[in-house]
Structure 1
Amino acid sequence: MKSFQSFAFFSIFLVLAFVICESQDCSKPFKIIVVSQSNSSSNFTTIQSAIDSVPTGNSQWIHIQISSGVYSPVMLEVPSIIQARAAWIYADKCVFYDCAFLGVQDTLNDDWGRHYYKNCYIQGGIDFIYGDGQSLFEASTIFFSMGKNGPKIDGVITAHERKSPNDPSGFVFKNCNISGTAGGKAELGRAMDAYARVIIADSYLSDVVKPEGWSPRTFVGHEANIVFVEEGNRGPGADKSKRVNWMKHLSGSELDKFLNISYIDQEGWISELPKTIFI
């Protein structure tokens, strides 16, 4: 899972509004950076160069507006540590709207920090959403595929790395569409650390989902610590009758605390984003 996939890439279907602020006080006027491969008046021609232009300790909202196109793998992190996958998110307070992440293995390394994805498209075949991020994926399409010419084998969608019972991280999928191509089946997730947490709620699951749903990977015997949850889903892949018997159940306020935006935004930072960005 740690190997870099040279065929992976980062594609924008519409415009990606993506915001970075490392400080708790981001009251300064926001700055717009434009990335385009065809517009000579843009600030940058690559996403990575735009990201790298944000100074360490930044204290203002940065709106990186990216024109449609196919871009090289990118890394959003504080500070630089290791190479990028298709996209590596290692920073707090990041929002992604109307964007697409495409790869096969390790497509989206959603690592440390609080992240919000809305109306996004994420495609891959093996552990293609992975890391220890505290992230909410809403109204997005999660598409299992081994690639146009890839092998017709089974795969895994998520691989979360929550490391302790006090770790607030977890992947939450709300009102999403989980589907894929014929030829293989996918587990919804497997544990990449002892306290992995993935919650899927109010979403459509196609028959690409394997009946057992989940795997403890190397943590057999420690399933009590792993939090894999499915609630209120629909579709042929939502049948839980053959799921692993250690899958957890959440309801009421226990479930709502993950589905509410406050799971990643207790202090209201998303509501403070410059409104002109999203009009």
Structure 2
Amino acid sequence: MKGVTIHNFCYSYFKVCLLVMSLAYGSAEWDGSSSQIAKTIIVNPNDARYFKTVQSAIDSIPLQNQDWIRILISNGIYSEKVTIPRGKGYIYMQGGGIEKTIIAYGDHQLTNTSATFTSYPSNIIITGITFKNKYNIASSSSPTKPAVAAMMLGDKYAIIDSSFDGFQDTLYDDYGRHYYKRCVISGGIDFIFGGAQSIFEGCTLKLRVGIYPPNEVYGTITAQGRDSPTDKGGFVFKDCTVMGSGKALLGRAWKSYSRVIFYRSMFSDNILPIGWDAWKAKGQEGHITFVEFGCTGVGADTSKRVPWLTKASEKDVLQFTNLTFIDEEGWLSRLPIKF
């Protein structure tokens, strides 16, 4: 009986410790359900009991994992490239906040190899982490090249209270359904690009055009890659804020059926009056869906926008701004976090 009492005490103490750590790690909280989180592992390079790198913690997770495993990442700067490989889904990466837990590297040249963070499997949660590609922001004199901070390649991702920092091609949001909430995304050229089906809610898009590097006259926020009328992809920005330095377009069409929607968002005077560029879809402007609805701020004046800017009713827009655009089956409500 005494042994059982000690066991119960240790187990209760362990749960209390995890709860205290959870409350310290970002504003999205684990809901405490033992049936949801099967295991918690910790990254702390200053404590011999724990993993020293983020990648070593990911490597410890078995292939074909089907249970949510939480990786608590202690505050600090982790100078490493991190990859979640195929077959290692159901990972919840939890940091201490975007100013506190930073994964940074400086690779560049190619969009598909330069990413500081790459995630392949489905079912991933990220909270309270900054992913940074230091190239072009660490040295403004370097020539502009693709330098990805994060490459998202799986389905059913929730990224909350996190940050993506770079200059060209910061966030490669390429495949799957993704929900970004209260995130900060910084860059200058096509810094949110790819073919994913994503909602960005309450996010801040920070321009650094004209500063890093100084030879760029104006930048572009999005380069969406929807390539057919049946492709479900598209970027939806809901209640977001655009701010920063320099001038930029809201987006340019990377592929023929590019789709980007800004809804109830605030634009500073950084946005160029023309707003958009057909780019790779020149001559096919009728296929492009670029929408601004209910936006405010100096940069939201559409009187000088491109003549082919999509005219959409509120009913049309709401089918994209509603979470059902990425979540018809209710996967977001089944996640082991509250946000």
TM interval, shorter chain, is: 0.7 to 0.9
Q: Residue 64 of structure 1: which of 93, 114, 127 is its match?
A: 93
Segments ≥4 residues shifted beyond 3 Å: 14-19, 27-44, 48-58, 146-149
Helix, strand or coil at the partner of 1:271 = helix
Structure 2 match to 1:227:
289
Note if contact 2:261-2:292 (Cα within 8 Å) is conserved in structure 1: yes
2:61 is equivalent to residue 32 of structure 1: no
Cα distance change, pair 190–149 in 1 and its aligned pair in 2 (3 A): closer
Give the superposed CA RMSD.
2.6
Shift of 1:99: 0.8
Helix, strand or coil at the partner of 2:320 = helix
The letter of the residue matching 2:187 is: G
Structure 1 match to 2:165:
102
236-245 or 63-72: which moved more? 63-72
Shift of 1:278: 3.4
Cα distance change, pair 40–130 in 1 and its aligned pair in 2 (3 A): farther
Mapped partners of 1:246, 1:51: distance in 2: 46
1:182-221 aligned within 5 A? 184-221=246-283
Mapped partners of 1:221, 1:38: distance in 2: 57
Structure 2 match to 1:75:
118
1:33-48 aligned within 5 A? 33-36=41-44, 38=46, 41-46=49-54, 48=55
TM-score (norm 1): 0.81
Cα distance change, pair 225–51 in 1 and its aligned pair in 2 (3 A): farther
Shift of 1:33: 4.1
> Which structure is higher in RCO with an 8 Å CA cutoff and minimum separation 6?
1
Structure possessing the higher radius of gyration over alpha carbons:
2
Note if contact 1:137-1:173 (Cα within 8 Å) is conserved in structure 2: yes
How many residue pairs end up in the alignment? 251
Note if contact 2:259-2:289 (Cα within 8 Å) is conserved in structure 1: yes
The letter of the residue matching 1:71 is: I
Note if contact 2:237-2:261 (Cα within 8 Å) is conserved in structure 1: yes
2:251 is equivalent to residue 177 of structure 1: no
Helix, strand or coil at the partner of 2:280 = coil
TM-score (norm 2): 0.68
Shift of 1:59: 2.1
Note if contact 2:250-2:276 (Cα within 8 Å) is conserved in structure 1: yes
Note if contact 2:237-2:262 (Cα within 8 Å) is conserved in structure 1: yes
Shift of 1:218: 2.6
Cα distance change, pair 225–52 in 1 and its aligned pair in 2 (3 A): farther
99-108 or 251-260: which moved more? 251-260
Deviations, residues 190-215 of structure 1 (Å, cap 9, x unaligned) = 01100000000001001100101000
Q: Where do 5+ consecutive residues of structure 1 fail to align?
A: 1-13, 20-26
Q: Where do 5+ consecutive residues of structure 2 fail to align?
A: 1-24, 69-90, 105-115, 123-145
Helix, strand or coil at the partner of 1:233 = coil
Structure 1 match to 2:156:
93
Structure 1 match to 2:302:
240
Note if contact 2:259-2:290 (Cα within 8 Å) is conserved in structure 1: yes
**Percent of aligned pairs with the same residue?**
45
Note if contact 2:177-2:196 (Cα within 8 Å) is conserved in structure 1: yes
Structure 2 match to 1:153:
217
Note if contact 1:18-1:64 (Cα within 8 Å) is conserved in structure 2: no
Note if contact 1:51-1:76 (Cα within 8 Å) is conserved in structure 2: no
Mapped partners of 1:42, 1:250: distance in 2: 53
Helix, strand or coil at the partner of 2:316 = helix
Judging by fraction of residues, say which structure has more helix: 2
Note if contact 2:210-2:218 (Cα within 8 Å) is conserved in structure 1: no
Shift of 1:52: 4.9
Helix, strand or coil at the partner of 1:162 = coil
Shift of 1:55: 4.5
Deviations, residues 151-190 of structure 1 (Å, cap 9, x unaligned) = 1520100000001100111000000001111xx3100000
